[in-house]
Amino acid sequence: MLRVGLTGGIGAGKSEVSRRLAAEGAVVIDADRLAREVVEPGTEGLAAVVAEFGEGVLRPDGALDRERLGEIVFADEGRLKALNAIVHPLVGRRTQELFDAAPRDAVVVYDVPLLTENHHTGMYDLVVVVDAPTETQVHRLVTDRGMSEEQARARIAAQATREQRRAIADVVIDNSGDLSALERQIAELWKTLQARAAEHA
């Protein structure tokens, strides 16, 4: 099994690369999706969040009110640490279950936005960084996600820099061009990953 960390700044196109690798046959584990999954209604994660933060973080339907919780934790580092202490171990456990369930010869891609910031590169056999110029990121966030330019630049500034991400990369996917250029790079990357996976099997 080959463990691949996939990351990239907001608007760089990481999700597109993740989808295309899944279409090639990679087992993709989406960190953001797992973080949502472990606090769905009826889970021990949601019960723990409510015990820590109170019923006020629930919507009327019993689901987690992410916006309300976000307002609490992002204004208070101590509260954010308390939330992470609940969610991170649950995500870690679920991730391990998915790794364990993957075939021995699989290419397992762990799609994680904050890989650079969390200093977890040692968990992976290979780190792939999806990169695009800042102005391209801003344009995509404004055009595709409806952000204002100010919001887009603030979100980009809150993450690791392009240089920091490129510094941890074994492979950089340049997503500044068109889809055909991206497809060529992914085809080449997939050949590399399959070869490395065969060595690890």
Given a cut of 90, whether residue 163 has pLDDT beyond it is: yes
Q: What is the pLDDT of residues 26-78, one digit of tens each?
A: 999 998 899 999 999 999 999 999 999 999 999 999 999 998 998 888 778 89
CATH 3.40.50.300 occupies which residues in the chain?
1-26+106-201, 33-104
User: CA-CA distance, 53 to 32, in Å (whole number)?
Assistant: 21
Q: Give me the CATH topology for the region 1-26+106-201.
A: Rossmann fold (3.40.50)
Average pLDDT over residues 153-175: 92
Q: According to the model, what pLDDT value does residue 104 have?
A: 86
Given a cut of 70, whether residue 131 has pLDDT beyond it is: yes
Given a cut of 90, whether residue 6 has pLDDT beyond it is: yes
Q: How confident is the model at residue 154 (pLDDT cuts 50, 70, 90)?
A: confident
Contact 108, 29 (CB under 8 A): yes
The residues with which 110 forms a beta bridge, in sequence order, are: 5, 29
Q: According to the model, what pLDDT value does residue 201 have?
A: 65
CATH architecture of structural domain 33-104: 3-Layer(aba) Sandwich (3.40)
Q: According to the model, what pLDDT value does residue 117 have?
A: 83
Q: According to the model, what pLDDT value does residue 58 have?
A: 95
Average pLDDT, the chain: 92
The distance of Cα 123 from the centroid of its chain, to the nearest Å, equals: 14
Q: What share of the chain in percent tops pLDDT 70? A: 100
Q: According to the model, what pLDDT value does residue 39 have?
A: 96
Q: How confident is the model at residue 180 (pLDDT cuts 50, 70, 90)?
A: very high
Q: What is the largest CA-CA distance in the chain?
A: 51
Q: What is the pLDDT of residues 78-122, one digit of tens each?
A: 998 999 899 989 998 998 899 899 888 899 999 988 888 877 778
Q: Which long-range contacts (CB under 8 A, 24 or more apart) does 40-47 make?
A: 40/64, 44/90, 45/86, 45/87, 45/90
Average pLDDT over residues 179-199: 93
H-helix or E-strand spanning residue 43: none
Q: According to the model, what pLDDT value does residue 139 have?
A: 95
Q: According to the model, what pLDDT value does residue 82 have?
A: 94
Q: According to the model, what pLDDT value does residue 99 have?
A: 87
Q: According to the model, what pLDDT value does residue 143 have?
A: 93
Q: According to the model, what pLDDT value does residue 132 have?
A: 95
